[in-house]
């Protein structure tokens, strides 16, 4: 069996920016509270005509261009999303069609904020066994459609966007090791009752979160899964060049970094500008750091994510 590796990455953020000052006019909050408790300064929200699918297409096109492949070489599309465009067909087939691809396997997975690590792990199995050569994985979310914009405890956090990787075969890692987990006994701490993304302005179907409880479990669980991943890879913390964490809250990011002895200079942070984009957050952050030259070919990058389910996971790649 061979390995899979990242051939190209891409990201898409919708044009509309919602600042903390904008939120001050919508709910009883303040820029200072949001920055101090979350690290978020602004977030992007999709326009009426946009969706997880349309944003996913934009991110995918950039990832395919970066991979140097012709799009016809994509053999499978996996979309991680908690805000699919429709109950069915999957957002993955809608993206497939918009990309002008036909015939390759395409499906969604539902693992909330952990979704992109799940997608990467699934893609890795297909590539390593030789079943599929090139897999496009996408994390795409229109979370603004399921936010309660009157609930200050959640609406300040969540945002929209999409990120994508093209993975392909390699003789050496690539994806060194990845670990995915879930514990459904926590399902009532972070959920949205209705599964399907509503049309813009079509009524209430909201994210509900016991933020403080989620916070505590997140820090411990993320540190544990990161240690598990490093242990399996036989690597020490000091051998990791970059930590690309799920972008939920700067306090969670720094607490996990501290537990891993990672100085913040080696942690990719986008939560200040992107907010929490759930399954899109890790690939968006990874892509940002590739494009601005921080993450270089050959470097060891540890990714981790945690969210509703709870689901969580971690992946170590040599980029």
Check if 201 is active-site. Answer: no
Q: How far is the CB of 37 from ligand UT7 (least distance, A)?
A: 4
Sequence-separated contacts (24+) of 248-252 with Cβ below 8 Å = 248/113, 248/157, 248/218, 248/276, 248/281, 248/306, 248/307, 249/37, 249/38, 249/39, 249/157, 249/215, 249/276, 250/38, 250/39, 250/40, 251/37, 251/38, 251/39, 251/215, 252/215, 252/218, 252/219, 252/222
When asked if residue 211 is in the footprint of ligand UT7 (CB under 6 A), the reply is yes
Beta bridge partners of 48: none
Check if 276 is active-site. Answer: yes
Nearer to ligand UT7, 94 or 268 (CB): 268
When asked if residue 143 is in the footprint of ligand UT7 (CB under 6 A), the reply is no
Nearer to ligand UT7, 174 or 307 (CB): 307
Check if 113 is active-site. Answer: yes
Nearer to ligand UT7, 7 or 119 (CB): 119
CB atoms within 10 A of CB 216: 10
Q: State the Cα–Cα distance between residues 79 and 279, nearest whole angstrom.
A: 9
Nearer to ligand UT7, 3 or 306 (CB): 306
Q: How far is the CB of 190 from ligand UT7 (least distance, A)?
A: 6
Q: State the Cα–Cα distance between residues 58 and 243, nearest whole angstrom.
A: 25
Show contacts with ligand UT7 in window 258-297 (CB under 6 A): 276
**Do 85 and 91 contact (CB within 8 A), yes or no?**
yes
Nearer to ligand UT7, 157 or 302 (CB): 157
Q: Phi first, then psi: give them for residue 279, nearest 5 degrees.
A: -65, -15
Q: State the Cα–Cα distance between residues 83 and 138, nearest whole angstrom.
A: 13
- Out of 77, 218, 250, 317, which residue is the one contacting ligand UT7 (CB under 6 A)? 218
When asked if residue 248 is in the footprint of ligand UT7 (CB under 6 A), the reply is yes
What residue is closest to ligand UT7 based on CB?
A: 211
Q: Among the options 46, 104, 113, 192, which is catalytic?
A: 113
Question: Interface residues with ligand UT7 (CB under 6 A)?
Answer: 29, 33, 37-38, 113, 152-153, 156, 211-212, 214-215, 218, 248-249, 252, 276, 306-307
Active site residues: 113, 246, 276
């Amino acid at each position: 069996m061979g390995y899979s590796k990242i051939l190209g990455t891409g990201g898409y953020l919708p044009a509309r920016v919602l600042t903390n000052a904008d939120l001050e006019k919508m709910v009883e909050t303040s820029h200072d509270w949001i920055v101090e408790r979350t690290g978020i300064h602004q977030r992007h929200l999709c326009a009426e005509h946009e969706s997880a699918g349309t944003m996913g297409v934009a991110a995918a096109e950039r990832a395919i261009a970066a991979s140097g492949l012709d799009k016809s070489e994509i053999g499978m599309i996996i979309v991680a999303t908690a805000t699919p465009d429709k109950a069915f067909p999957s957002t993955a087939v809608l993206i497939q069609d918009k990309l002008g691809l036909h015939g390759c396997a395409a499906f969604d997975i539902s693992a909330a904020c952990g979704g992109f690590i799940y997608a990467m792990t699934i893609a890795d199995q297909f590539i390593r066994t030789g079943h599929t050569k090139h897999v496009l994985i996408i994390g795409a979310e229109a979370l603004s459609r399921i936010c309660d914009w009157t609930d200050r405890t959640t609406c300040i956090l969540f945002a929209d966007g999409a990120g994508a990787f093209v993975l392909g075969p390699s003789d050496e890692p690539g994806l060194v090791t990845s670990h995915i987990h879930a514990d459904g006994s926590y399902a009532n701490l972070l959920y949205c009752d209705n599964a399907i993304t509503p049309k813009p302005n079509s009524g209430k179907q909201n994210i509900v979160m016991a933020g403080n409880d989620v916070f505590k479990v997140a820090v411990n669980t993320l540190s544990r899964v990161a240690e598990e991943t490093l242990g399996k890879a036989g690597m020490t913390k000091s051998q990791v060049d970059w930590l690309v964490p799920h972008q939920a809250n700067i306090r969670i990011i720094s607490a996990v970094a501290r537990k891993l002895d990672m100085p913040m200079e080696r942690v990719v942070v986008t939560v200040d500008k992107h907010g929490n984009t759930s399954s899109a957050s890790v690939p968006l952050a990874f892509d940002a750091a590739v494009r601005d030259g921080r993450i270089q070919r050959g470097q060891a990058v540890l990714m981790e994510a945690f969210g509703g389910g709870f689901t969580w996971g971690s992946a170590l790649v040599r980029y």
